[in-house]
A and B are shown apart, each in its own frame.
Chain A
Amino acid sequence: MPKVCCCLSSSQAIRSSLMAGKPKLYYFNGRGRMESVRWLLAAAGIEFVEEFLETREQYEKLLQDGALLFQQVPMVEIDGMKMVQTRAILGYIAAKHNLYGKNLKERALIDMYVEGTRDLMDLIRVHHKFSPEEQEKNLALINERATARYFPVYEKVLKDHGTEFLVGNQLTWADVQLIEAILMVEEKVSTILSKFPLLQDFKTRICNIPTIKKFLQPGSQRKPPPDESYVVTANRVFNRK
């Protein structure tokens, strides 16, 4: 008996020391605000683990343990920190893994571009919360914004400098967030890229990058679009009516 216990605890110890290096994501088992973090880690080839919030009790325990700086998720345990605030987390990961450009001006461009795709994705992130009538209006807004405000900008960026990536001729956070946004909008409006040939090429190219290709395959940690049970869970955890 002691031998078995010894084996169990040493493999547990090995497992937990392997895990100790991996970022740990605390969120619901769904996209929401955490999905961009999953994308960026995956693109950087960084393995991560996830703890899914399913009950009110889990959330309250995190609060009591002082693990959530502003009482909110996303929260990511990484490099000895409990990071919160999506943008802060993404900025840290991008800088750490060389996805934030090589100087201040490139950073500025990346920041502008990711704020744009963030605004577009936020329209979609909340879509499932609306009533059917509101959803119809929102869909029209998403379509309009994507085709008249955001995608023309990125199409032009690619056209103007004729390189494979948005900034500085290498993969950056801006490319990862753009591909995430493109795929998200396509789920709502499948023909959204019809007037944007360079973005179509961009999409093909970026989706073929090995780390991203892997993330796009079934069985990865990429989450599906939100469904009823996702809404129910979030409301339960946050005590919303």
Chain B
Amino acid sequence: MPGKPKLHYANGRGKMESIRWLLAAAGVEFEEQFIETKEDLEKLRSDGLLLFQQVPMVEIDGMKMVQTRAILSYLAAKYNLYGKDLKERALIDMYVEGTTDLMGIIMYLPFQPPEAKEKNLALITDKATTRYFPVYEKVLKDHGQDYLVGNHFTWADVHLLEAILMAEECKSDILSKFPLLQAFKGRISNIPTIKKFLQPGSQRKPPPDEKYIAQVKQTFNV
């Protein structure tokens, strides 16, 4: 259907998941074309559809956008989730870079050798509970508002919820020392568009399993 953004990626979370979250939060319907084999990727490349030969790629508004951050920033601005002025943008950018760094460590966990798994899980827990979550807990505490920036719902809130849920999949009680983040999680999860995305049958992708990891390694030479 013309008009809907079209996402090109593997059938799994990876770097595309934050884009799915943001579109869903904004209430924007989207389509997906899954890359399942090396040939699928090669075809996208040889058709000249991937600016730097990489995915994620999102067809939107006549563009073939690549680079996750560029895509997310465009969506945030387009759907009014990027704050109301330059200073709010600056805060949002800082906060999402933090959650990106945290989710980045978690994203690579399944691709590490099994021996390193326990060590990396400990690293994730440590970074989440000493570097990242204290920051967002303090932000919420300091202004006492429902959202991270500007007393309204922004990209920073969507990204933080995604990071929280991902971290909880690693360690279910990871929020135990962060009461405001627990409340935040409850609140944001109840926003209708997000609630819908969290239900079974949505386009949200499950955590990577053995099969997905093998397929990604094959297709992308990871």
Contacts and interface: CB of A to CB of B under 8 A. Distances in A.
B212 interface: no
Given A85-B97, A119-B52, A112 B90 contact: no
Contacts of A108: 63, 65, 70, 73-74
A83 B65 contact: no
Contacts of A149: 52-53
Contacts of B93: 85, 87-88, 91-92
Given A84-B94, A85-B93, A107-B77, A71 B131 contact: yes
Nearest to B63: A108
B22 interface: no
B90 A150 contact: no
Give the dominant DSSP class at A's interface.
Answer: helix
B101 interface: yes
B89 A95 contact: yes
A103 to B, nearest CB: 10
Contacts of A119: 52
Nearest to B69: A115
A87 B94 CA distance: 8
Contacts of B77: 104, 107
Interface in B45-71: 51-53, 61, 63, 65-67, 69-70
Given A70-B131, A108-B74, A88 B65 contact: no
Contact of B90 (A71, A81, A153): A81
Interface in A56-113: 69-71, 79, 81, 83-85, 87-88, 91-92, 95-96, 104-105, 107-108, 111-112
A108 B73 CA distance: 8
B67 A85 contact: no
A116 interface: yes
Contacts of B69: 87, 111, 115
Given A70-B132, A85-B93, A150 B87 contact: no
Contacts of A92: 86, 89-90, 93
B67 A115 contact: yes
B49 to A, nearest CB: 13
Interface string A143-164: 0000001100100000000000
A215 B77 CA distance: 33
B67 A111 contact: yes
A84 B69 CA distance: 17
A137 to B, nearest CB: 16
B66 A112 contact: yes
A70 B132 CA distance: 7
A241 B171 CA distance: 29
Given A70-B98, A119-B52, A96 B135 contact: no
A115 B94 CA distance: 16
A87 B89 CA distance: 12
Contacts of B67: 111-112, 115-116
B124 to A, nearest CB: 15
Contacts of B119: none
Contact of B86 (A70, A95, A150): A95
A215 B87 CA distance: 28
Contacts of B87: 79, 81
Given A88-B90, A92-B86, A104-B77, A70 B70 contact: no
B211 interface: no
Nearest to A95: B86
A149 B77 CA distance: 28
Q: 7 closest pairs, A vs B, by CB?
A: A111-B70, A88-B93, A85-B97, A115-B67, A88-B94, A112-B70, A108-B74
Given A111-B74, A112-B51, A115-B69, 16 more contacts: A69-B98, A70-B131, A70-B135, A85-B94, A87-B69, A87-B97, A88-B90, A92-B90, A105-B63, A112-B65, A112-B70, A116-B51, A116-B67, A149-B53, A150-B52, A153-B52
8 contacts: A83-B94, A87-B93, A87-B97, A91-B89, A91-B93, A96-B86, A108-B74, A119-B52
